[in-house]
Structure 1
């Protein structure tokens, strides 16, 4: 893959290289910085897209497309309705939806009305939903009817002005009615619930379309999103993302990727990760809006056969996903019939991508997986591989333009390149702090203003960053550090392994023991055989002391393996390995 219309890097790159050694490895067409003076709001990006690309498709769902012009009208109706309900600038509005056609219109409608978006995982339990709505102070909730029962159970403990019920077929015309019928009657996906005060999204659109929304003065310093952390490391906290944080990251991603996009007007981004997840939100939803691309919305990416059928009907050019998704697709029947000839790149984030998955993906598609890295707190992208790589690198690539990183020891001192330490980040994409939690904000920000990621990393000689592991996931065996990612990567190389998760559990002899949970591809695979395989690649103390075979592994709703859940399960059972 070659860059399009490469241009020389700016002269400032040489001056910055002393503190940003990765700039020497930048593609010639990528600038070292973005113009932060030009950072506006997400509303500006949306209005620009409506003006520049009115007739281009903005989104596709269940085979039907809407143009940017139609998306603009739909967003206006949402904004008008919210204002009519008394929404004030800065009020929080929650979206509890998978990737259905209504999502983009609701998202931009809230922003255009001056509101703050609170993204909610639709698969939350009533307890989790109650916590997030109360913590954010959301006044309105847009929820797919499939999850109405969850809202009903939470309602006595939350304060909402209005609940809006969305259907999978909203904004899809006659086809939408068929989709809703199948969802309700055939798949029986909608559990009985009673929300008598709720209003349908269809009614919202009809009422909102009667008049234009009132213009609202939104500044880059206003809050665009309360993006709650996944909760995998403790109580979920709302990362306060200002318009300038998210717009900066969109600009950074554009600066890094645009030279490889080309000038084509028919970009189709596979949006399989849910838009309530920060990676999909920025890299799919917002970046595609910025460049006038179209999102192929996948409402249920867990339905792999259905997903593959959708891909077979599409000429995709861009794709985002994570390791588990690429792994599932790579082994899915029919994937060989998908036309990948127009694909410019496939980017991966959210969790470490395994070499074996990347290798299989390239065999099928001809394209390597381009790995990136980010967090909710950084809007999210911090680093990404060059898009012209020929093979999977196993690193997270280089910091994006206008991004600084350091690796620090436990005492906060900056470590030399090549030494392991906590990855710290500074840049315009870093959040303003955690919502109403100054104590938690203080824990993750250094005194000199750097965000502590909680990830262990090293900086390679050419400036690439390699994540070793989460700090809290590290296993300590007789004083030696064992990083689960390393063990999982070895396990993944065995042809009989589908996927695995590695944790540390208490051991009376070594302090902790390495334990592996494995999903088999070969049902005849034995623990002894797999342990012997590991011994060929790992030093003795890294080889799993115990291997337990499972049918599935616990995962977040975006497909990230939950090591914490396995650890908690074992600890509750008082498991010790000796």
Structure 2
């Protein structure tokens, strides 16, 4: 390790830095098989109130793995999965990895253009997709490498479904269309061959950066995922002890599993590694349905994002629920606001323990110790086995408590971007640190505070203004439900902040906001424009998308 001011904090909070490294002979494929058998009698998933055991998932994924191998695909072939949190997602994921292929996770909310780019860029030969989405696709011939399309319906494993008719079959004679459930049912004998794989082989292409340019596939190896599971175990053990889950311990899986946060934390670190049952939430935006599932299956662990916690904490029925079973709430994806955490704790009596990571880090890089029983306002300490430096614009480490770019080195850091050597070279230092693009600082104990994304920083007359700081102050106002701040061009100052506000109370005025902010912020940090909006654009994970906010001055925007 280059510098380890956080080791004393590890000791204080019962975290063992000497985590058990994965057996170098094992792959994610063999680990999936072993753990599905180990927990075969336990519930693996709740989906639409139906239970699926680890044994059920074992059999279904073995059969689908056999079906895929029977297509004649070579080991290492890419298979794209474009599904929400339905039971078919973990079945498909485990089958693809066990059969020796590379999983390409695709956002099910992607447009046709975004899907085609990802399929074409990855060279995926198989696409597993919802039937409704498939019917909306045109020009599949643009995906030249794509040979097989497997369609499914949300209720396929809940009730009998009529045989699917594929209208595209005649239009695309060079592509074979089939049905997910029928593919599994037609395999009578499970005879899939265990593939020859190594830990450094790519197992997942996790695409990132699509909304800021052409999306790139982060190549994650078996080793990356296995090490991150092992690293996350140090946090679990510090809190729960080195044990497996009981039958009535659940993970509330409202995070989309195609996203690396939900994928590694829900599906593997808690689910497959510790035997928790995941409560699958297909549509986290349906708050009433989400609250119903929380009531029916009160979770032990709830990984989520700020917007989700904020919305639930304001939901009248959620506030009335019994939260005594909830032991850990973990936040990531975007900064957890202090106001959100305070309200969440008021409602649930459980703190939010914030962590930090990226698609390129599998994802976890930092964590807050659960035994601290507090909200630190930081993203915590470097995860065991992880080195973090804060670098200036010249790539040199800065002093403690000084801002700079967060650079990460560890076994969970990706191999690189798929078929993009130049882009890969740009994000790695000569000594192997991954440049995150995030601005942060580290204190004397090793706790890291995220100030902002490097590209989101606002430069006002030469002064750095971080949107996260403004949003943190705004969110504390009792009449504000949600907010976002961006920089817009200004002839005098170069850039100025603009605030978008979703009201909690209709009586809120722009003058009231300005008066409040002037008591909290120095003048150059004050937003020059304030605009009230009915809602904010969000990703499927619930992260507010600043880049989709208009960088123009609307008629109803208050000039300050």
TM-score tier, shorter chain, comes to: over 0.9
1:146 Cα shift? 2.5
1:510 Cα shift? 1.1
Query: Which ranges of structure 2 fall in alignment gaps of 5 or more residues?
Result: 171-175
1:153 Cα shift? 4.7
Is the deviation greater in 207-216 or in 53-62?
207-216
Match of 1:91 in 2: 77
Change (3 A) 1:193 1:372: farther
1:389 Cα shift? 2.8
Give the whole-Å Cα distance in 1 for the aligned partners of 2:187 and 2:302. Answer: 34
Give the whole-Å Cα distance in 2 for the aligned partners of 1:481 and 1:195. Answer: 56
Give the whole-Å Cα distance in 2 for the aligned partners of 1:149 and 1:123. Answer: 14
Match of 2:173 in 1: none
Is the deviation greater in 527-536 or in 132-141?
527-536
Could you tell me whether the CA contact under 8 Å between 1:474 and 1:481 is conserved in 2? yes
Give the whole-Å Cα distance in 1 for the aligned partners of 2:553 and 2:477. Answer: 28
Write the deviation string for residues 160-209 of structure 1: whole angstroms up to 9, x where unpaired: 1111111111222x3x75xx99xx9xxxxxxx974564211111111234
The equivalent position to 1:77 in structure 2, one of 31, 56, 63, is 63
Indicate whether 1:25 and 2:9 are aligned.
yes
Could you tell me whether the CA contact under 8 Å between 1:90 and 1:114 is conserved in 2? yes
Is the deviation greater in 159-168 or in 41-50?
41-50
Query: Which ranges of structure 1 fall in alignment gaps of 5 or more residues?
Result: 1-15, 185-191
Indicate whether 1:355 and 2:338 are aligned.
yes
SS in 2 for 1:541: helix
TM-score by length of 2: 0.94
Write the deviation string for residues 320-353 of structure 1: whole angstroms up to 9, x where unpaired: 1100111111111210233321111010100011
Give the whole-Å Cα distance in 1 for the aligned partners of 2:313 and 2:291. Answer: 10
1:315 Cα shift? 2.5
Change (3 A) 1:244 1:571: farther
Change (3 A) 1:32 1:392: same
The equivalent position to 1:50 in structure 2, one of 16, 20, 36, is 36
The equivalent position to 2:473 in structure 1, one of 477, 490, 501, is 490
SS in 2 for 1:48: helix
1:86 Cα shift? 1.0
Could you tell me whether the CA contact under 8 Å between 1:56 and 1:68 is conserved in 2? yes
1:52 Cα shift? 1.7
The equivalent position to 1:110 in structure 2, one of 93, 96, 102, is 96
The equivalent position to 1:345 in structure 2, one of 325, 328, 334, is 328
Match of 1:311 in 2: 294
The equivalent position to 1:204 in structure 2, one of 165, 175, 183, is 183
The equivalent position to 1:41 in structure 2, one of 27, 32, 36, is 27
Give the whole-Å Cα distance in 2 for the aligned partners of 1:325 and 1:49. Answer: 31
Give the whole-Å Cα distance in 1 for the aligned partners of 2:152 and 2:187. Answer: 15
Indicate whether 1:265 and 2:251 are aligned.
no
Match of 2:263 in 1: 281
Match of 2:216 in 1: 237
Indicate whether 1:224 and 2:203 are aligned.
yes
SS in 2 for 1:407: strand
Write the deviation string for residues 87-113 of structure 1: whole angstroms up to 9, x where unpaired: 211000000000001111100000011
Match of 2:154 in 1: 168
1:461 Cα shift? 1.3
Give the whole-Å Cα distance in 1 for the aligned partners of 2:533 and 2:483. Answer: 9
Indicate whether 1:252 and 2:231 are aligned.
yes
Match of 1:10 in 2: none
SS in 2 for 1:458: strand
1:418 Cα shift? 1.0
Could you tell me whether the CA contact under 8 Å between 2:42 and 2:54 is conserved in 1? yes
Match of 2:48 in 1: 62
1:156 Cα shift? 4.0
Could you tell me whether the CA contact under 8 Å between 1:260 and 1:344 is conserved in 2? no
Give the whole-Å Cα distance in 1 for the aligned partners of 2:236 and 2:22. Answer: 21
TM-score by length of 1: 0.91
1:148 Cα shift? 1.4
Number of corresponding residues? 548
1:59 Cα shift? 1.0
Give the whole-Å Cα distance in 2 for the aligned partners of 1:308 and 1:565. Answer: 29
Give the whole-Å Cα distance in 1 for the aligned partners of 2:476 and 2:523. Answer: 18
Structure 1 vs Structure 2 CA RMSD: 2.3
Give the whole-Å Cα distance in 1 for the aligned partners of 2:123 and 2:554. Answer: 34
The residue correspondences of 1:114-153 to structure 2 (distance < 5 A) are 114-153=100-139
Give the whole-Å Cα distance in 2 for the aligned partners of 1:217 and 1:407. Answer: 40
Give the whole-Å Cα distance in 2 for the aligned partners of 1:193 and 1:299. Answer: 26
Could you tell me whether the CA contact under 8 Å between 1:118 and 1:226 is conserved in 2? yes
